[in-house]
Amino acid sequence: MINRLQDNSRFARRATAVAGACALVLCAHTVSAAVAPEEAKRIFDRITGVPPTQQQINDMVATGDPVQAGLLAVEDDNFYNVTLKNFVTPWTNRDQTVFAPLNDYTATVIGMVRDNVPFNTALSADVLYTVNGVSPGASGSSNDHYANAETQGANLKAALQATSQSAVYGTPADGTAGLITTRAASSAFFIAGTNRAMFRFTMINHMCRDMEQLADTTRPPDRIRQDVARSPGGDSRIFLNNCIGCHSGMDPMAQAFAYYNYDETAGKLVYTPGAVQAKYFINADNFKQGFITPNDNWENRWRHGQNAIYGWSSSLPGNGAGAKSWGQEIGNSDQFAQCQVEKVWKAVCFRAPSLNVTDRNAVGTIAASFKANGYKLKNVFAEVAARCD
């Protein structure tokens, strides 16, 4: 028995050594120096969802580099009309379903990717993409323009044209905040409620974190609104050990949306600069001593404490007024860049990146490249596809 245990121990040590050596090799390895036809086909399949032609395979092989081969694949129409549409659409609705009509949010992301618009501006820019040649034109009170484009089978790569929300929807430029103020996002996340939904779903969609993962009970509670009871069910421990964890960080930042609402009757975003929406004052009797929202000034208290790990930009102050500056805060964090890579990885590799050292290093490398090279999301698809197993 003792000999057998010793043999098992030696085997375990050898296996660990071999695994460690393999991990080091994999960590050092990025992508192969050449592109075989089989690899070209796999990269193209993963990026576009359809098989390549022989000429496309030949062109990809000729690049001699898997990332460059991937950059050829992302120019295929199917990448825009299918892969990107399915990639983005779940971000635009509360059900997070891909089975939703084309809308301004999805079209704008597709256009930004096609044109290499820096994606860290996706939550702050005065940007909108419409579909050329589709009637009726884009409207702040209807999704018919985009729904008709989909029904007509418009080629999004060719037909999307860049414009601005201020020009098409009439929202003041200072009140625009990229995807946050699109009609689709407004109708899903600014409707009724308290505007905390916009905060939560922005965290899910663009930081890859839900509130349970962000909760930090060490942040001060002084800006938690009146509608949050401090003793739910008569027990203050519930607030101190649970509620405070989310609201102490969320409420000071969700204040950035104080001037926004979605009008169901008109079917459009309402922006009232200088006038806080009534939804910020609901259920005031839950805790009358709670915070009363006076304006749209926000503060990121997660720059300190456990959520400092998300790499908030040192070039930004961590506070401001309105959704535009808040979108800049999110878009320039390290976690925003990493989240985009993680989402692309899942879409292209058909699995989330693992916790092993190889995947972690690959995600970190691609996120750093994403930031260093102008936040071109198109490139992330090519780099991830080159590493998929």
User: DSSP of 60-111, one letter per residue?
Assistant: HHHH-SHHHHHHHHTTSHHIIIIIIHHHHGGGGSTT--S-S---HHHHHHHH
Q: Which of 134, 143, 88, 78 is nearest to 110 (CA)?
A: 88
Q: Residue 235, exposed/middle/buried by CB under 10 A (0-12, 13-18, 19+)? A: exposed
- How many domains does one find in the chain? 1
Whether pLDDT at 29 is above 60:
no
Answer yes or no: is 4 within a domain. Answer: no
Kindly state whether residue 44 falls inside one of the protein's structural domains: yes
Name the pLDDT band for 184 (thresholds 50, 70, 90).
very high
| Domain interval for residue 69 | 38-73+350-389
Is 334 part of any domain?
A: no
pTM, two decimal places: 0.91
Asked if the model's pLDDT at residue 346 lies above 90, the reply is yes
The confidence band for 52, taking pLDDT boundaries of 50, 70 and 90, is very high
Is the Cβ–Cβ distance between 224 and 289 less than 8 Å? no
Q: How far apart are CA 279 and CA 290, in angstroms?
A: 15
Q: What radius of gyration do the chain's Cα atoms show?
A: 24
Whether residue 181 is contained in a domain is answered as no
Rounded CA separation 336/331 (Å): 6
| Torsion sign, CA atoms 242, 246, 251, 254 | negative
Per-residue confidence (pLDDT) for residue 389, from 0 to 100: 77
Give the C-alpha separation, 345 to 337, whole Å.
Answer: 13
Write the CA distances from 302 to 203, 216, 250, 264, 289, integer angstroms.
13, 8, 9, 33, 23
Count Cβ atoms below 10 Å from residue 217 Cβ, excluding itself: 17
- Domain contains 53: yes
List pLDDT tens digits, range 67-109.
999 999 999 999 999 999 999 999 999 999 999 999 999 999 9
Does residue 186 belong to any structural domain of this protein? Answer: no
Judge whether 8 lies within some domain.
no
Structure tokens at 92: 């635009």
Strand partners, 262: 191, 269
**Is pLDDT of 166 > 60?**
yes
Mean predicted confidence (pLDDT) in 342-356: 95
Q: What is the pLDDT of residue 33?
A: 61
Is residue 136 in some structural domain?
Answer: no
